[in-house]
Every structure is written in C-alpha cells, then in structure tokens.
Structure 1
C-alpha cells in the first residue's frame, strides 16, 4: 500500500511540483489512512533531487495541512453542538454528558490539543473537528494549526531530504509509533464500551428489583 501511495504522491509532485506535495498533504488530512510519514519524506527527497526547492516543499506541505484542517474545522462548525447532542442521544452507548465532558475538556485544553495534536498520527486530522464544533476563534485555530503542522512537516521533509534514496526508512520508525497509538485508542474504546455495558446491565438489574 505504501508503494502505491508513494507512486501516487510522486505523480502529483511530478505533474504539479511543490503544489502537488501540498495537495497530497491536504488529502492526507481529510483521509487519515493516507500516511504523512510517506508523503512528507518523499517531498523532501524530491526537493533533494531538484524537483522543487526545500523551502517550497516546506511551505506547500504546511499550506496543504492548513487547507485540510480548515475543511475539517468547517465540518465541525456545520455540525454544531446541538446537532451533535441530538446524535449522541440516538447512539446506543453514548450519552449527551459524554459530549459535555469532551466540550469542557476542549474548552480547558483546546489550544494545546490543536497545537500538539498536529504532531500525533490520526489525531492530527481529527482534532480539527472538535475545534470547529466549539467554534474556536478562526485566527487562533489557523495560528496553532500552522505552527504545529510546520514543526511536524519540517521534521519529516528534512528527514527525506537528508536521507535521500533511503527516505522510506522514516515510515518504518513512525509506523511503530502509529501502531502503538492505534492500539491504545482501540483499548480505550474497548474499556469505554465495557464500562457502558456494565452500567446498562446494573441499571436493568436495579429496575427488576
């Protein structure tokens, strides 16, 4: 899969140059299965071969990150708090109070979540939706997203630039961290579901008594 994504990203960069790298990263934000740990080092490698300048690679990938994040922010803003609460009421294991707790957490730590979330695989895309739901001021969202994305993108573009033909090594190391994060998320979901099922069972027993 990584090879086909690399071929696709290479085609974009060959056709469009640095804006192609930006487009690939914008789509990566919207579709998290597209791995930035493949696209960004490849952009750095392409810059090292003269397909674009290093500055162009850094600027366009950061612009692409911001464009993708703004699209997800817009989805969250369009969905809105009231609609989200109505959806929560219809979901079997979700309570409106879960949304309210998430809301309170975001109101306390939203800035840090948006900034540092840009450097965490999977969450780097998803964090833009609650920012939109909570209507984080757009200038602040843009500033934090741009800063966090610039740090993440620079690290990976520079790795590809310096590693040259060995740019694909980056994916192997980051893939381990990504798998750990996915495992922790799955575990957290299983614990959440287990707790909710236990609460439901206890409630049913109490009603019978």
Structure 2
C-alpha cells in the first residue's frame, strides 16, 4: 500500500494529501500513519510547505468527518430507534442503550470528539453519534479540526524529523492501529453475542 500512496502524494501534492485523508475517514484501512508522515518527509525535501501539508491533511480529515456527520444527522435519533427495533442485534443497541448513549455523549462530547481523532477506528465512528444526537454543527466542526489538527501535526512533525525513515512511523504505529481496530471488532462481536432486546 505504501508505494501507491507515495506515488499519489508525489504526483498530486496537497490535493493528494487532502483526498487520501478524506478517504481514510470514509474507509479506515487507508492509514493516516503513512499519509501524514510522508507529507512531513516531503516538506523536509522542499517539495511541500509544512503548514500547507498540515492544512491539506486536516481539511481532508474534516471533510470525511463531515460526511459521516451529515449521514448520521439525516438518519437522526428516530431513525436510529427504528433501526434498533428491526436490527438491534447487529447494531448492538436497544432503545435503553440509545437513551444511555445519548445522555453520555451529550455530557462528554466536548472531549470525546477531539480525543477520538487520536484513536484509529474511533476517528471515523465518533462523527456518527455526533450527527445522530444533533451535536451543534459549529461545535462539531471546531472540535473535529482541533482533534484532527493535533494528530496530523504530530504525524507531519514525525515524518519531517525522521526524513527518509518516515516509514518508521507506520511500522511502529501501524500494528498498534491494527490491534486497536481488532479489539474494537472483537468487542463488537462480543456485544452481538450478548445482545438482549430491550
């Protein structure tokens, strides 16, 4: 995967970074842990500007998050309740679970949204409760940019500092990301197996 990402960023520049980071939020297996360090390395080589690379990556992340927010906002809480009534086991939510999730998210969204952008898998998923439970759009936008900006800045800086060894970021963080996503998937399977309607 790394070769085609490298070629794509070298050919497309800032637009390529933004597009890949957008796709990373739509389709999580595309790794930001490779895209943004590569962007950082490119800035060290003088091919890109550091601020431009950071802005492009964060804009792509923001666009992907906004996509899922819009989809979830369209579905809405009532739509989620209908889904839970029909497919509760597969989304592992009953009506009481939705009430609890709504209350928890509304209490904690000020930290949950930015922190989720630091965690693989969750950076895509966090936009869904934000949309479903009608988090104010401006607050969602600010907190998303904050969380995505911090994560992307760390990755760009790592790539810039490591130079040609920028791939080390993905070599070390990649397995951690895969492990976190595997744990999330196993937790989902556990919830499916233990699900009781209600």
Q: TM-score, normalised by structure 1?
A: 0.86
Paired residue for 1:71, among 42, 67, 70?
A: 67
Distance in 2 between the 1:62 and 1:191 partners? Answer: 34
Q: Deviations over 1:115-167 (max 9, x none)?
A: 10011001011101111111111111111011111110011111111111111
Distance 1:20 1:187, change over 3 A: closer
Greater shift after overlay, 27-36 or 181-190? 181-190
Higher RCO (C-alpha 8 Å, min separation 6): 2
SS, match of residue 135 in structure 1: coil
Alignment of 1:26-65 (within 5 A): 26-65=22-61
Alignment of 1:8-27 (within 5 A): 8-27=4-23
Instruction: State the Cα RMSD in Å.
Output: 1.7
- Look up the match of 1:206: none
- Look up the match of 2:163: 164
SS, match of residue 80 in structure 1: helix
Q: TM-score, normalised by structure 2?
A: 0.90
- Look up the match of 2:98: 99
Q: Give every structure 1 segment of 4 or more consecutive aligned residues whose post-TM-superposition deviation is greater than 3 Å.
A: none
Total equivalences in the alignment: 194
Distance in 2 between the 1:135 and 1:126 partners? Answer: 15
Structure 1: runs of 5 or more not aligned: 201-209
8 Å CA contact 1:58–1:154 kept in 2: the answer is yes
Distance in 1 between the 2:178 and 2:15 partners? Answer: 30
